Structure 1
Amino acid sequence: MLQELLFSLPQVLIDGLALGAIYAVVALGYTMVYGILQLINFAHGEIFMTGAFIGTGFFIMLMGMSWAAAIPQLLLFIIVILITASFTGLIGVGMERVAYRPLRGAPRLIPLITAIGISFILQDVIRFIAELTTGRYILTGPSLFSDQITISFSSISSWFNNASFKTSFLIVLITAILLMVALDYFVNRTKWGTAIRAVSLDRETASLMSINVNKVISTTFFVGSALGGATGVLFAMQYGTIDPYIGFILGLKAFIAAVLGGIGNIRGAMLGGILLGVMEMFAAANLSVLTGGIFGAEYKDVFAFAILIIVLIFRPEGLLGKPTAEKV
């Protein structure tokens, strides 16, 4: 059994890192909003999905133009990801202004139900627009960075199999790391980041210290939604096919990643996303071996939610989170 597990380990690590990086960046949106408003924004998965459709639409539009053929693929990718991040950031700001701000101070269940309602609205709006413009709601994006690279591990040891990946894997991983590092710098080294942390600690006191709380919250939604939209572009480029419902299950898993790392903790969300992606790919490749064929790769989602239950039972604050005391 051990040899079978090690044989697939290189490919598992590569696939897990790509998926985990996507989970990590989406989880950052959850953890930023929760850190300030104590709100689980379940519509964030649909922001990710919207970004995937906007990015794919721009890719298709630009690559259909003759002058775009002269643009290097990397530059085209940077242009699309910046445009998409800007659009989804503005959608996030509008969502906060219209749906969440009027409910600020209401019982927590009401904004939660509102977030679920917004997610259904976004799903149907994107499906309607996709069918209106293309005649179908399942889209396949253009093939970018599709060259295959193979790393020979079998020459090092017979215990390991070779691993292969598309060059898009490197783009996804590097871009996700840059986004996470940039966000960490923004939150911990800038004035806006200081304001965000101040509002997160005590909203009322921050407002007394001349911090514009509404502007800070809008900025948080913009940054979180922009990251979610950019990650949607990475997902569409890496996995090719998208539909209006990809945000639901991926959003739930990104939420699990945020809880695993410590909801409200930015670095915890990064760690939780990477760990969850690697563990999920490990389960997909080896669950049949570990259970003697009883469970197959289709049970990898069950594996992810089992991790959530275990974390909530034994360490509800997450890996990097800190226990908080309720004031009574």
Structure 2
Amino acid sequence: MEQLIQQLVNGISLGSIYALIALGYTMVYGIVKLINFAHGDVFMVGAFIGFYSITVFHLGFFPALLISMAACAIFGVLIERIAYKPLRNATRIAALITAIGVSLFIEYGTIYIRGAQPEAYPNGIVPLKSIEILGVKISGQSLLILAVSIFLMILLQFIVHKTKIGKAMRAVSHDQDAAKLMGINVNNTISATFAIGSALAGAAGVVFGMYYTKIEPLMGIIPGLKAFVAAVLGGIGILPGAMAGGLLLGVIEALVSAAGFSLWRDGVAFVVLILILIFRPAGLFGKNVREKV
């Protein structure tokens, strides 16, 4: 029983990282109907910016987290303006192929600049003590990851529902042409969406580095794909769905590992994707909407 609770705690920590990345996928899809496959690589860039902030500039965890979020926000806007904006009225497949191209460009550009060797986050960045609840030892890092993730998710909900840019994002998501007629700057709204989503991916990168220690230039591929699965699981385009999907996927992976099938933990995400597409294509929080072809 104790081991099961321990695995659930691990699953929730991992799931909250997936949820932070999945929010970026779901926000961008909700507004421009684009699956931004370069999003996992923004997460990787965030992990490296956090790493260099800590090791080269000797900053603490929270300053490194904020720098990584700010840098990734700018990086996300640059990707959108350079690669995606010219294709806004192109076919979906053209935008999708471009997203894959941008992803590969970031991965191998990073390898070209700094080499392919992995790096390790220093231990004890945040000196947190483990706590024991009902005989289960929960690490301070797990609690910090959960606290940071929950705070950022609440902040995102506040931005989307209570601020001017959030209202503009919801209007553009609902009807881009009507939003334009109402005086909303659609280009700036889309850029803001990319900035917020990329900042969350940057935060996830730093948190992931602190939790798993090892980072390398191709680290964004699997978490990026799993976060995409999480977004589809919850209902792509729906923010609470991305959060729930990420947490649920993390818990499923942890339980698969606990059952002794740790080699299957990466594969189980894609089994979940296939099942959700067969039995509930709109996701757990989505509504089935007929699409005219």
Q: Same fold (TM over 0.5)?
A: yes
Aligned twin of 1:313: 278
Matches within 5 A, 1:205-224: 205-224=178-197
1:263 aligns with 2:236: yes
CA distance in 1, matches of 2:39, 2:17: 13
Alpha-carbon shift at residue 152 of structure 1 (Å): 5.5
> Quick one: which of 47, 51, 67 aligns to 1:52?
47
Alpha-carbon shift at residue 127 of structure 1 (Å): 1.9
Give the secondary-structure state (helix, strand or coil) at the position aligned to 1:55.
Answer: helix
CA distance in 2, matches of 1:137, 1:115: 25
Matches within 5 A, 1:271-286: 271-286=244-259
Aligned twin of 2:75: 91
1:172 aligns with 2:133: no
1:41 aligns with 2:29: no
CA distance in 1, matches of 2:194, 2:122: 29
Give the secondary-structure state (helix, strand or coil) at the position aligned to 2:130.
Answer: strand
Q: Which amino acid aligns with 2:134?
A: F
- For the 8 Å contact 1:34–1:263, the answer to whether it is kept is yes
- For the 8 Å contact 2:61–2:126, the answer to whether it is kept is no
Alpha-carbon shift at residue 163 of structure 1 (Å): 3.4
CA distance in 1, matches of 2:237, 2:181: 23
- For the 8 Å contact 1:24–1:270, the answer to whether it is kept is yes
Larger Cα-atom Rg:
1
Cα offsets for 1:275-319 (capped at 9, x unmatched) = 000110110111x3xxxxxxx311111211111111111111111
Cα offsets for 1:130-180 (capped at 9, x unmatched) = 23xxxx6200011123555252535xxxxxxx4342x22121110010000
Matches within 5 A, 1:200-239: 200-239=173-212
Aligned twin of 1:137: 117
Aligned twin of 1:106: 90
Q: Which amino acid aligns with 1:218?
A: S
Gap runs ≥5 in structure 1: 1-5, 69-75, 155-161, 289-295
> Quick one: which of 86, 107, 110 aligns to 1:123?
107
Alpha-carbon shift at residue 322 of structure 1 (Å): 1.6
Cα offsets for 1:257-290 (capped at 9, x unmatched) = 001111000011000000000110110111x3xx
Aligned twin of 1:159: none
Task: Give TM-score scaled by structure 2 length.
Answer: 0.96
CA distance in 2, matches of 1:245, 1:11: 29
Q: Which amino acid aligns with 1:201?
A: H
Amino-acid identity (%): 48
Alpha-carbon shift at residue 80 of structure 1 (Å): 1.0
1:151 aligns with 2:132: yes
Gap runs ≥5 in structure 2: none
Alpha-carbon shift at residue 62 of structure 1 (Å): 2.4
Give the secondary-structure state (helix, strand or coil) at the position aligned to 2:57.
Answer: helix
- For the 8 Å contact 1:10–1:163, the answer to whether it is kept is no
CA distance in 1, matches of 2:44, 2:118: 12
> Quick one: which of 205, 208, 214 aligns to 1:241?
214
CA distance in 2, matches of 1:297, 1:146: 29
Give the secondary-structure state (helix, strand or coil) at the position aligned to 1:85.
Answer: helix
Aligned twin of 1:157: none
- For the 8 Å contact 1:187–1:196, the answer to whether it is kept is yes
Give the secondary-structure state (helix, strand or coil) at the position aligned to 2:5.
Answer: helix
Q: Given the superposition, is the C-alpha separation of residues 152 and 228 from structure 1 closer, same or farther in structure 2, using an over 3 Å criterion?
A: closer
Task: Indicate the RMSD between aligned Cα atoms, in angstroms.
Answer: 1.4
Cα offsets for 1:65-89 (capped at 9, x unmatched) = xxx6xxxxxxx22211111111111
Aligned twin of 1:300: 265
> Quick one: which of 153, 158, 162 aligns to 1:185?
158
CA distance in 2, matches of 1:297, 1:148: 27
Q: Which amino acid aligns with 1:276?
A: L
- For the 8 Å contact 1:45–1:250, the answer to whether it is kept is yes
> Quick one: which of 49, 56, 63 aligns to 1:61?
56
Aligned twin of 1:10: 5
Give the secondary-structure state (helix, strand or coil) at the position aligned to 1:318.
Answer: coil
Q: Which amino acid aligns with 2:132?
A: I
Aligned residues: 292
Give the secondary-structure state (helix, strand or coil) at the position aligned to 1:8.
Answer: helix
1:163 aligns with 2:133: no
Give the secondary-structure state (helix, strand or coil) at the position aligned to 1:211.
Answer: coil
Q: Which amino acid aligns with 2:99?
A: A
